[in-house]
Amino acid sequence: GAVVSQHPSWVICKSGTSVKIECRSLDFQATTMFWYRQFPKQSLMLMATSNEGSKATYEQGVEKDKFLINHASLTLSTLTVTSAHPEDSSFYICSAGRQGSSQPQHFGDGTRLSIL
């Protein structure tokens, strides 16, 4: 079964609104989670690293004030797309790895965000 849960799976909203996406590790603790963005027919690109109890680390070119990340517990990270615009429409995917493990991360099922 899924070990990383992402919610919602699909959201449509009007331009200018804010959208929150949740990523949960279901049966393990994750001090670090990752947020990726995937445009149609393209690969996954890392947006930011979410660190429990501290500020997220953003990749070059990703606006931290637009993509707010909160990792308040060891099992939950949230990504809020603020004042969303049509160009923010994409597939957002989170991943998490078991703390202290060398095993590969597990990915959520992604969130399809469509901004009208």
Partner 1 sequence: GQQLNQSPQSMFIQEGEDVSMNCTSSSIFNTWLWYKQDPGEGPVLLIALYKAGELTSNGRLTAQFGITRKDSFLNISASIPSDVGIYFCAGPRGNLNQAGTALIFGKGTTLSVSS
User: Under the rule (CB under 8 A), what is the footprint of partner 1?
Assistant: 4, 6, 30-32, 34, 42-46, 49, 91, 93, 95-110, 112
CA angle 100/104/107 to nearest 5° reads: 110
Residue 69 Cβ vs partner 1, minimum distance, rounded to whole Å? 13
Residue 94 Cβ vs partner 1, minimum distance, rounded to whole Å? 8
Residue 63 Cβ vs partner 1, minimum distance, rounded to whole Å? 18
The residue (of 61 and 100) whose beta carbon lies closer to partner 1 is 100
Question: Measured in Å, how far apart are the chain's first and last C-alpha atoms?
Answer: 34
Q: Are 33 and 96 in contact (CB under 8 A)?
A: yes
CA distances from 100 to 28, 34, 51, 58, 94 (A): 11, 16, 14, 22, 18
The residue (of 86 and 100) whose beta carbon lies closer to partner 1 is 100
The residue (of 60 and 65) whose beta carbon lies closer to partner 1 is 60
